[in-house]
Amino acid sequence: MEKRRIAVVGFGHVGCGAVEALEVAPDLELAGVVLQDEGEIRRACCSLGSVPVVRHLAELEKVDAALLAVPSRCVPKLAPPILETGVATVDCYDIHGDPLMTLRATLDPIAREHGTAAVISAGWDPGTDSVVRTLLEALVPRGITYTNFGPGMSMGHTVVIKGFEGVEDALSLTIPKGCGLHKRYVYLKTRPGTDFDALVARISQDPYFAHDEVHFFPCEDVQALVDTGHAVHLERRGSAGKTHNQKVDFLMSVTNPAATGQVLVSAARAVLRQRPGAYTLPEIPPVDFLPGDRESLLHRLI
Residues making up the annotated binding site for NADP(+) are 42-44, 122-126
Q: Does 255 bind its own copies (CB under 8 A)?
A: yes
Give the whole-angstrom CA distance, residue 292 versus residue 298: 10
Site string for its own copies, 267-286 (x = CB under 8 A): -------------xxxxxxx
Which residues, 6+ apart, have CB-to-CB distance to 202 below 8 Å? 164
Q: Residue 121 or residue 190: which is nearer to its own copies going by CB?
A: 121
Q: In what order do the strands lie in the sheet with 28-34?
A: 53-54, 28-34, 4-9, 65-68, 88-91, 117-119, 277-279
Task: Please tell me whether residue 8 adopts helix, strand or coil conformation.
Answer: strand
Q: Which of 36, 47, 204, 253 lies at the binding interface for its own copies (CB under 8 A)?
A: 253
104 binds its own copies (CB under 8 A): yes
Among positions 42, 55, 73, 96, the unique one binding its own copies when judged by CB under 8 A: 96
Q: Which amino acid does the sequence have at 275?
A: R
State the nearest-atom distance from the C-beta of 189 to its own copies, in Å: 27
Candidate residues 30, 157, 262, 268; the one interacting with its own copies per rule CB under 8 A: 262
Task: Candidates 42, 55, 73, 142: give the one binding its own copies (CB under 8 A).
Answer: 142
| CB of 32 or CB of 167, closer to its own copies | 32
- Supply the minimum distance, in Å, between the C-beta of residue 29 and its own copies: 15
List 43, 254, 276, 277, residue binding its own copies (CB under 8 A): 254
CB 21 within 8 A of CB 261: yes
CA distances from 277 to 47, 49, 113, 284 (A): 35, 35, 9, 12
Q: Which of residues 108-137 bind its own copies (CB under 8 A)?
A: 121, 124, 126, 128, 130-135, 137
Q: Is 147 in the site for its own copies (CB under 8 A)?
A: no
- Contact with its own copies (CB under 8 A) among 143, 250, 268, 271: 250
Give the Cα separation of 7 and 90 in Å (integer): 10
Task: Find the farthest-apart pair of alpha carbons in the chain and give their distance in angstroms, rounded.
Answer: 65
DSSP 34-95: E---HHHHHHHHHHHTTS-EESSGGGSSS-SEEEE-S-GGGHHHHHHHHHHTT-EEEE----
Rg of the chain taking only CA atoms, in angstroms = 21
Contact 29, 6 (CB under 8 A): yes
* Least distance (Å) between residue 237 CB and its own copies: 9
* Residues at the interface with its own copies (CB under 8 A): 17-21, 23-25, 96-98, 100-101, 104, 121, 124, 126, 128, 130-135, 137-142, 240-243, 245-255, 258-259, 261-263, 265-266, 280-287, 289-291, 294-295, 297-299, 301-302
